[in-house]
Amino acid sequence: MTIASPAIQTDSASEPEAEAVGLLREMIAAQRQGEAAVQAIVTDRLRASGCEVTVRPFDPAEVPVIGEFAAARAQTPGRRKNVIARLKGDPARRSLLLFAHPDSEPVSGTERWRTDPFAGEIADGRLYGWGVADDLAGVAAGVLGIVRAAQSGAALGDVVMASTPSKRHARGVAAALHQGLEADGALYLHPAESGAGLGEIKAFASGQLEFRLTVEGRLPDTTEPGHAGFAHLAENPIEKAMMVASALRALDEERAGRIRHPRLEAAVGRSTNLMIATIGCGEDARFGRLNERCVMGGAISFPPGETIEGVKAEIEAAIDGAARADGWLADHPPTIEWVSGVTGAECPGDHPLYLAAARAVSAVTGAAPHVNPMHTSSDIRNPIVQKAIPTVGFGGLCGDLSQNGRHDEWIDVADFLRTVDATAAMIVDWCGTERAAIA
């Protein structure tokens, strides 16, 4: 691997390209100090561009979200800050909200990295750094996009860039929307995790519910340390949990035949899935003793059009049915904790916002983009669900995201630069059009 020095060492790099990569490297370096340091860079850069910038504190737990919830254990407590920059324009023309999140995964496991996580090193066309793909590249593209739009001299409607925390249900963009932020359309800037890069547009997001099930059992009435000889006198919580899991599996198959969405069917042949992802009971190597309870964790994906409450009700009914069919569970029903949930959303392929995004991407890549419908719970849902603002998303090629347990997270430099160009092009296209043309 050949690593470039901290400054761009290529004679072919134009001044805008050097500026773009330089900003991204500066943000990566700031990750050492955390989210606040990144937001400070964003604030300074946007103010220097002539935008009106406000910093708005909020408490994620107090955001009045619609079609979404999260248990306290699923959120990081404490107040956060949104950075909102506005480029004022002609109210007769369309307005656009750009948003991306400056917060990354908690820093850990850096000893596995081959590159310095905070140096912004470049090798073989890839720029490496902690959080670079999730989502510093998106924030940088938004900042640079609005700056270039301002420099274009084009007549535009209002353009807003929002750097809004998102991880662990931080709800930054939802907070901004419920504090009064409005727009005719929104663009979520985030590199594509799928491997398609800028060749895809996020215009569809399934909803998702996460849950935890606790199934109680009963130990045999004995003081003996070994339970194998008394097992028939016990209620094994693992066996009872498997009954519940079987009922959920049956629900999953029934829903697969009943719940259909053409985008999902075309992509993977199925529109909803329910899975048990974790199961815990007892201690490893204590195979001669039963345990009093078994805990399972799972999730269900569901397409736009279904509601959180409706899907919850189906899962609860399946669990109740399994419990009533078993003597022990009928008297000791499983308990379910709903950990988090978000509603699905989509932007139709013939919507003017989608078409503007497709034109912008085509202009810089030379190819028509496609919709990837597999971004379950993508943040494109936020403006759609919270304020009925049509929303799409795009971003550059990336890989090895820290949130997936990988190391040496990277963004493709060329695709990042194309994302900046596409962002500026979409602003000029969408915001340069009369609002009467939206319908």
Name the token pair of 394.
Answer: 């795009």
Which CATH number belongs to the domain containing residue 102 in this structure?
3.40.630.10
Kindly state the percentage of the chain with pLDDT values over 70: 96
Q: What spatial distance separates the first Cα and last Cα of the chain, rounded to whole Å?
A: 51
User: Does residue 267 sit in the same domain as residue 200?
Assistant: no
Number of folded domains in the chain? 2
* Residues 138 and 280 placed together within one structural domain of the fold: no
Please check whether residue 300 lies inside any domain of the structure. Answer: yes
- Same domain for 80 and 119? yes
**Co-location of 123 and 161 in the same domain:** yes
Please name which of 433, 352, 436, 336 lies closest in space to residue 392, comparing C-alpha atoms: 352
In the predicted model, what is the mean pLDDT of the chain?
Answer: 93
Q: Helix %, strand %, coil % for the chain, to 5?
A: 40, 20, 40
Select from 326, 342, 358 the last residue of a domain.
Answer: 342
pLDDT digits (tens, 9 = 90+) for 322-334: 999 999 999 999 9
**C-beta of residue 108 within 8 angstroms of C-beta of residue 394:** no
The model's confidence at residue 46, banded by pLDDT at 50, 70 and 90, is: very high
Domain membership of residue 371 as a residue range: 15-205+345-437
Task: Give yes or no for residue 439 having a pLDDT over 60.
Answer: no
CA-based torsion, 407, 413, 419, 424: positive or negative: positive
Q: What is the pLDDT of residue 194?
A: 87
pTM metric for this prediction? 0.91
The last residue of one of the domains, among 296, 318, 342, is: 342
The string of pLDDT tens digits covering residues 143-185 is: 999 999 988 889 999 999 999 999 888 899 999 999 999 999 9
Task: Name the domain boundary from 311, 342, 373.
Answer: 342
Assess whether pLDDT exceeds 80 at residue 140.
yes
The four Cα atoms 324, 326, 332, 336 give a dihedral, to 10 degrees, of -60
Confidence of residue 437 (pLDDT cuts 50, 70, 90): low
User: Nearest 10 degrees: CA dihedral of 232, 237, 242, 244?
Assistant: 120
What is the per-residue pLDDT across 217-252, written as a single tens digit (0 to 9) for each? 999 999 998 999 999 999 999 999 999 999 999 999
pLDDT tens by residue, 370-391: 999 998 889 999 999 999 999 9
CA-atom Rg of the chain in angstroms: 25
Is residue 319 located within the same domain as residue 363? no
Residue with more model confidence, 414 or 3: 414
pLDDT score at 75: 81
DSSP classification of residue 107: P
User: Closest Cα to residue 130, out of 149, 151, 115?
Assistant: 115
